[in-house]
Structure 1
Amino acid sequence: MEASPRSWRPRPGLTRTQRSREQDRAAGSASNRLVDVGGGRRGLASVALTPSGKTGRVSAVLQWTSDGRRRRLRLGEVDLPTRSANLREAWRLAGQTGLLVGEDTAGSWASSPATRASMRSNRSRDTKPELRLRSLLHREGLRYRVSTKPVPHLRRTADVVFSKARVAVFVDGCYWHGCPEHGSIPATNRDFWKGKIEGNIRRDRETDRLLTEAGWTVIRVWEHTPPTEALEVVRQSLAQPPGQPLRANGR
């Protein structure tokens, strides 16, 4: 049985920029796609997905250009239902090859390789808390948009958006958004991280204000909030006119 086209085939009509952004999202960032191409130079790699007629799964290949020649490394087979999920899994496999070198870390904001690895593991979308909440919302028969701007001209992206009801949901990570229960500031480079997290908090409050002024209800959910509790806050907000920002589990 051949793999479903949905599991490997790209959307038709994508521009080169859009294809590159798709790879960036799957890898976690453009810097996570870097490989050493020799001479101290680095180049962007990409993952190609093709169906395997023999196994019915999807074959993943890492490819890049070095000295004008196309290089390819077979990563193995992936077997998830969507192209985006298979791309993410393929990039995870690519990370195990030792070929990816990441960004130049000289003068990096991170104090150690372990810190850099921890920071890279903080995904900007499709985190486990988001997926759990979205699963419950979908089970309730609620339909929504994911990772989109509630107000097109505002450079603010919400994790879950109910356009008709004008409800925007943000699932905030405890570290990056300064959770009073679980947030902490590293001892190394403390001033840098303190400023970074405080800046995120200020931006969150500004986002709440801008969206509320535009007639939206803003819901903020900590990543540690039980999904059922977050679901109840969303359900109640959908039944009411747009109002003040809400925080599931307090702030």
Structure 2
Amino acid sequence: MVDKLTPQRRSRNMQAIRQKNTKPEMAVRRLLHALGYRYRVHRTDLPGRPDIVFTARKKIVQVHGCFWHGHDCLDRMPKSREEYWLSKIQGNRERDERNRATLEAMGWEVLVVWECEIKNTTVLASTLTGFLGPARVGTVEGRPG
């Protein structure tokens, strides 16, 4: 199937897609903050620049978009350039797994939150608190309060 958009328009659309501070990521960050957690974001000294980092706890929360990271909740693929998209998403999944393995080898624990899981904030809050443990109210992770 042929792309319905011109190459210039498709390029503009793709450039508008954010790599960080995405809507799903911001929703998780707001929830974490409301729960009393403090964190760092996009640490460049860690593999893959993790989305949300809890330095003192050595824990990381990665927020993945279901399409871009190949979550199994989606069973559709773009109709145009299927080979390209299959390769792109498979490459993203392999990169994610390499980064996760490297982080875990460095002693970090990693939780992946999928975009589709953000809709139910009650379940998400329970998952996050189960992973992170109690919040240390009034302190920033990794810094004295």
Instruction: Give ranges in structure 1 of 5+ residues lacking alignment.
Output: 1-109, 241-251
The structure with more radius of gyration: 1
**3-state DSSP class of the match of 2:102?**
helix
Within 5 Å, which residues of 2 pair with 1:1-251?
112-149=7-44, 152=45, 154-182=46-74, 184-226=76-118, 227-239=121-133
Residue 163 (structure 1) shift: 0.5
The separation in 1 between residues aligned to 2:80 and 2:94, in whole angstroms, is 23
Distance 1:197 1:111, change over 3 A: farther
Q: CA RMSD in A?
A: 2.2
Q: Is the 8 A contact 1:175 1:183 kept in 2?
A: no
**3-state DSSP class of the match of 1:224?**
helix
Residue 195 (structure 1) shift: 0.8
More strand by share: 1
The separation in 2 between residues aligned to 1:111 and 1:188, in whole angstroms, is 13
The separation in 2 between residues aligned to 1:144 and 1:180, in whole angstroms, is 29
- % identity of equivalent residues: 34
Residue 179 (structure 1) shift: 1.6
The count of aligned residue pairs is 128
Distance 1:173 1:111, change over 3 A: farther
The separation in 2 between residues aligned to 1:237 and 1:215, in whole angstroms, is 15
The separation in 1 between residues aligned to 2:56 and 2:62, in whole angstroms, is 17
Counterpart residue identity of residue 127, structure 1? T
Aligned to 1:30: none
Residue 114 (structure 1) shift: 4.6
Distance 1:169 1:189, change over 3 A: same
Counterpart residue identity of residue 33, structure 2? H
Distance 1:183 1:144, change over 3 A: farther
The separation in 1 between residues aligned to 2:127 and 2:13, in whole angstroms, is 31
Q: Deviations over 1:154-180 (max 9, x none)?
A: 432111110000111111111210121
Counterpart residue identity of residue 231, structure 1? A
Counterpart residue identity of residue 135, structure 1? R
**3-state DSSP class of the match of 1:168?**
strand
Which portions of structure 1, spanning 4 or more consecutive aligned residues, are displaced by more than 3 angstroms?
110-115
Q: More relative contact order in 1 or in 2 (CA 8 Å, sep 6+)?
A: 2
More helix by share: 2
